[in-house]
Structure 1
Amino acid sequence: MEIIYKDEKDFTKENIIELFLSVDWQLSASNPDKLYTALINSPTVFTAWENNKLVGLARALDDGILTAYIHYVLVNPKYQGKGIASNLVKMIKNKYKDYVYN
């Protein structure tokens, strides 16, 4: 299994809904248009892929200069325990390493 990590928002609504449903986040997945728009408009979204399957996602929100926080980290249960969440969090921490509160 080769996992590819991306910082591009090249996912589809279908990718997102499949991932959110895999972790039983039905409420978030119940409005695909709003969820997709929220992710596209987020300053930071890192994703993990196996081939064309979205298997993990981490989202961070920030004020652009001082504070950043991780809003959520999701990994499809079939892929958990493989370090995917850790790698996504490391990517976020690296991006915000110069922020005072991260």
Structure 2
Amino acid sequence: MELEYRFNECCSVKDVQEVYIKSGIRRPVGDTVRIQKMIDHADEIITARDGDKIVGFLRAITDYSYCCYISDIAVDKSYQGLGIGKQLIKMLRDRLGDEEIQYILTSAPKAVGFYEKIGFERADKAFVIKRMIN
């Protein structure tokens, strides 16, 4: 198996919904309009592909100078443990740099250890206004 990583290449709502479902990440997979908006308004998207199948997906919002919010990192469960999530983050950091940009994300409880292992630090001063519609 040889994975191919691609930057900002168009991907279908169906492909993104499938990787969300297969990764276990909680996203509004039944709302195709909302998923399309999520794709359309991302500043950076990186995909990991096994042939034509997207097996890893990173979506980020950034100002390219001060901060980058990593909105999604989803890896198909059957491909987890192969370093795909780590590679997606590395590629984003290589593309945007580390000197000026701070990377921010929120983690699912099960993924906290993964992020700590690859160099993220916990932040205790984050605040959230939760969305009214899930």
Give TM-score, length-normalised by structure 2. Answer: 0.69
Higher helix share: 1
Q: What is the aligned residue count? A: 102
One-letter amino acid of the structure 2 residue matched with residue 46 of structure 1: I
One-letter amino acid of the structure 2 residue matched with residue 28 of structure 1: P
- CA offsets, 1:59-78, max 9 Å, x none? 11112321112122110001
CA distance in 2, matches of 1:69, 1:5: 20
CA distance in 1, matches of 2:26, 2:87: 25
Q: Answer yes or no: is the 8 Å Cα contact 2:20–2:27 preserved in 1.
A: no
Change in Cα spacing, 1:34 to 1:9, as seen in structure 2 (3 Å) is farther
Within a 5 Å distance, the mapping from 1:1-102 to structure 2 comes to 1-25=1-25, 27-97=27-97, 98-102=99-103
CA distance in 2, matches of 1:77, 1:27: 15
Match of 2:127 in 1: none
Change in Cα spacing, 1:72 to 1:88, as seen in structure 2 (3 Å) is same
Q: Does the residue aligned with 1:61 lie in a helix, a strand or coil?
A: strand
RMSD: 1.6
Q: Does the residue aligned with 2:28 lie in a helix, a strand or coil?
A: helix
Q: Answer yes or no: is the 8 Å Cα contact 2:47–2:54 preserved in 1.
A: yes
Q: Does the residue aligned with 1:29 lie in a helix, a strand or coil?
A: coil
Q: Answer yes or no: is the 8 Å Cα contact 2:7–2:46 preserved in 1.
A: yes
Match of 2:129 in 1: none
CA distance in 2, matches of 1:13, 1:65: 29
Q: CA deviation at 1:27?
A: 4.2
- CA offsets, 1:38-78, max 9 Å, x none? 11221011000000001000111112321112122110001
Identical pairs, percent: 23
- Any stretches of 5+ residues in structure 2 without a counterpart? 104-134
Asked which structure has the greater CA Rg, the reply is 2
Match of 2:125 in 1: none
Give TM-score, length-normalised by structure 1. Answer: 0.88
Q: Does the residue aligned with 2:102 lie in a helix, a strand or coil?
A: coil
- Any stretches of 5+ residues in structure 1 without a counterpart? none
